[in-house]
Amino acid sequence: MANTISIVSSKGGTGKTTVALNLAVALAESGERTLLLDLDPLGAIGFSLARNDTDWRGLAEHIVDEAPLNEVMLQTRLPQLSILPRGRLDPLDIDIYENVLRCSDALQNIIAEVDAEFRYIIVDTPSGLGSVTRAALASSTHALLPLQAEPLALRAISQTLHVLQHIRENENRRLHLIGILAVMVQLQKDVSFNIMSTAWSSLHGVLETYIPRTDIFHLASEKGLPVAFLQGRCPPEAKRFEMLATEIKTIIQNLGGDMGADDERP
């Protein structure tokens, strides 16, 4: 069974997709079989790893046209990384698509079908704590919460923790919180520094690794790439995600919930 990690936040633009993409790349580069699953109807992951998005099929074709999952899952240029992108979603079919993803049984079946092939499944969720995000949590073994080092972020975290606890108590006892990942951090700015000081002193589970705010993420998203793939550079931001992958593996082992620990898989 894979460790299925949902990246969740009650706010939009908090770096979920950036974290999901770059974390999945770092895990794959560390040798772990990893799947990046895009549950956001906006389908941002599709734009990030494909050269030619229009050729792509994905989850939409599986849900709407019943295409087999193994036919719509894509191998990336990293041998250990596959992606299950949104695919081409006819706006007229969006209700069918979302109704399936809202149903945690259906999502659990989708994950169960591919689970054995991977050590990690990273789930990019839509913004907010709506039904698709809740179904993702009900189908995951772990959750990772990005905390944007900006005003109001701490309130958003407490809402997300509340939903997480509710789902753990009522729907999914396997769900563990990996922790809170500070992103877009600028310690040289007072606002960001103050939020981080409050988070570090008053919140449990803030990860040691944090992701700074730098322009390279804009450059990477303009080019549709994870930061590690930017040519001619070895950005320190990619190193951050390597550190994050290592920290997350240790946390999962310590939680006792490492679903692949006793496997024969490489």
Tell me the closest approach of the beta carbon of residue 131 to ligand ADP, in angstroms.
18
217 lies in the binding site for ligand ADP (CB under 6 A): yes
- Of 17 and 148, nearer to Mg ion (C-beta) is 17
221 lies in the binding site for ligand ADP (CB under 6 A): yes
Among 30, 108, 159, 214, binds ligand ADP (CB under 6 A): 214
Q: Which does 214 bind (CB under 5 to 8 A by kind): Mg ion, ligand ADP, none?
A: ligand ADP
Q: Which does 131 bind (CB under 5 to 8 A by kind): ligand ADP, Mg ion, none?
A: none
Q: Please report, as residue ranges, which positions from 105 to 134 form the binding site for ligand ADP (by CB under 6 A).
A: 127
4 lies in the binding site for Mg ion (CB under 5 A): no
Tell me the closest approach of the beta carbon of residue 213 to ligand ADP, in angstroms.
4
What is the Cα–Cα distance from 244 to 27, expressed in whole angstroms? 9
Tell me the closest approach of the beta carbon of residue 221 to ligand ADP, in angstroms.
4
Q: Which residues contact 31 (CB under 8 A, 6 or more apart)?
A: 80, 266
Tell me the closest approach of the beta carbon of residue 133 to ligand ADP, in angstroms.
11
